[in-house]
């Protein structure tokens, strides 16, 4: 295990990008000083939103199934780590403790990891290196990369960077309120 430092984040909400119409997962640190938007797929956004809203379906959806399998095997979801940002793509690891006490770090897309973590009420952590790499309000492209990871446009606003905060606020303000709709927190 590396000696990487992590910052705990919570899901602030979901929104839609007015240009690409892609969902944006909004993660925020507990002090409200840092907002990390991550562009994700519609299916993953729906899975996160349904859990945050407390909605259930008659049959388990994919992320519910995964969580049910983990718990049926006597394992526990410990936390999700968003551990790297490479070429605009976030990389995550879902950390589990098996029934025998062994720990496992399972590579995942952060959006899938968040969908499972919110079901388990497990912490979402972002590596300090990821926060440093993101830097204030930069755009890294969008779409999927060749490794199947998420390649979202990335915006990061640190406390004290009022110019970046103002640009992000302006972008979010330009969105139609209906874009936030049922996903707003």
What domains does the chain contain, in order, with CATH numbers?
Answer: 6-180 (3.10.690.10)
What pLDDT was estimated at residue 33?
80
CB 92 within 8 A of CB 82: yes
**pLDDT averaged over the chain?**
80
Cα 150 to Cα 90: distance, rounded to the nearest angstrom:
6
What pLDDT was estimated at residue 3?
73
> Residue-wise over 35-61: b if at least 16 C-beta within 10 A, else e?
bbbbbbbeebbbbbbbbeeeeeeeeeb
166 falls in which pLDDT band (50, 70, 90)? low
pLDDT in tens, 139-162: 334 344 444 554 434 444 444 455
CB 155 within 8 A of CB 28: no
Asked if pLDDT for residue 100 goes beyond 70, the answer is yes
What pLDDT was estimated at residue 90?
94
What pLDDT was estimated at residue 10?
95
What pLDDT was estimated at residue 162?
56
Q: What is the pTM of this model?
A: 0.74
Name the nearest CA neighbour of 106 among 62, 133, 66, 145: 66
pLDDT in tens, 6-52: 999 999 999 888 888 889 999 998 888 888 889 999 999 999 999 99
In the chain, the largest separation of any two C-alpha atoms, in whole Å, equals: 51
**CA 119 and chain centroid, separation:** 13
What pLDDT was estimated at residue 169?
53
Q: Which residues touch 54 (CB under 8 Å, ≥6 apart)?
A: none
**Phi-psi label, residue 172: left if phi above 0, alpha if psi -120 to 50, beta otherwise:** alpha
């Amino acid at each position: 295990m590396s000696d990487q430092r992590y910052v705990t984040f919570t899901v602030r909400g979901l929104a839609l990008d007015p240009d690409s119409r892609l969902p944006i997962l909004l993660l925020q640190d507990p002090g409200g000083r840092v907002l990390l938007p991550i562009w994700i797929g519609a299916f993953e956004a729906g899975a996160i939103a349904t859990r945050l809203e407390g909605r259930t379906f008659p049959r388990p959806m994919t992320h519910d199934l995964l969580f049910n399998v983990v718990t049926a095997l006597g394992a526990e979801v410990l936390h999700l780590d968003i551990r790297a940002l490479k070429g605009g793509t976030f990389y995550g690891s879902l950390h589990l403790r098996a029934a025998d006490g062994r720990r496992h770090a399972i590579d995942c897309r952060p959006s899938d990891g968040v969908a499972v973590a919110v079901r388990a009420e497990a912490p979402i952590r972002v590596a300090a290196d990821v926060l440093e790499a993101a830097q204030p309000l930069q755009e890294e492209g969008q779409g999927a990369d060749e490794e199947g990871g998420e390649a979202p446009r990335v915006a990061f606003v640190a406390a004290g960077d009022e110019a970046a905060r103002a640009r992000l606020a302006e972008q979010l303000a330009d969105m139609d309120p209906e874009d936030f709709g049922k996903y707003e927190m």
